[in-house]
Structure 1
Amino acid sequence: MTLPLSDAAPIDLARTPAFTLGATRVNPALREVVVAGQVEMLEPRVMQVLVALAEQRGQVISRDTLSQRCWSGRTVGDDALTRCIARVRRLAEASGDFNVETIPRVGYRLTAAEVEAEAKDEVEAAPAPQPAAPPVPARPQASTHPLDSKCSDRPCCIGSSRLSRLRRTG
């Protein structure tokens, strides 16, 4: 849904189709955002900023372009745009499905979780390494019990160790 920025017309919420950002459903015509089953109403300017960022998903959009598209080119203070971005960020935090990044001295970029999820899916789709063959069990050691001369540390064999020594000497 990316538009060339040079052809970017002011955003008309009534004509903007509904879209999703991960599991978050956005209906611009009704100014509704559904996050985890909860419906939130957004102010018209906040919704326009969200739509503008979503249309350029993953790409940087300048403050001037946001001003042109959301305020029809009228000169607005930084506070108005900053307030709208802050509201969109609160919505992003609540949903966890997208994020709004500030690109210093340039503008803003919306990144959606579905893009990150696709990258994770590609990593997960790679074949997993095959498990190594089960280790070969070590040979059982010869028992030193009973009546072995090396088994003198057990109480049951103390007497037998003495017997073994007696047999050897005797």
Structure 2
Amino acid sequence: MEGDIVDVLLRIKENGTTSFELTFDHIKALKRCSVNGYEIGGGSTVYINAWAIARDPATWEHADEFLPESFLESDLDPRGQTPELIPFGFGRRGCPGIGMAMAEVELALANVVYKFDWGLPVGMKEEDIDFEVLPGITMHKKNDLRLLAKLVIA
């Protein structure tokens, strides 16, 4: 078998060609390495800081502003082939379930939007909606979004 050690171990796991059970715990960094000048210890888990990537002024013109319209005419691919947008991983280590996930999220969201009439709480205007988020590995809104949902009976 040829390829880097991770590729070989993944192939062995997929094919089941060993006399023992090979789990993902067996497939991890075994020794120290250096990535872009950072020392990574053996057995370490590395997380991608998507929050920092999404706010990189070298990549995004208005990095600190919420501008969803910037993706309407964009050639960036959210399915994992564009390093700027890596919700499903990137390249050959990307998520194999990306197609199903994209379709399921779209269908679930479409059903929720379709089945309800949405509105803001009494006295709240669109300008009052807070788009601030907290920093971290995953993005969470600083303040909850409150909406009123009225079931559409059809």
Q: Which has the higher contact order (CA 8 A, sep 6+)?
A: 1
Give TM-score, length-normalised by structure 1.
0.18
Identify, as 1 or 2, the structure richer in strand.
1
Identify, as 1 or 2, the structure richer in helix.
1
Larger Rg: 1
Give TM-score, length-normalised by structure 2.
0.20
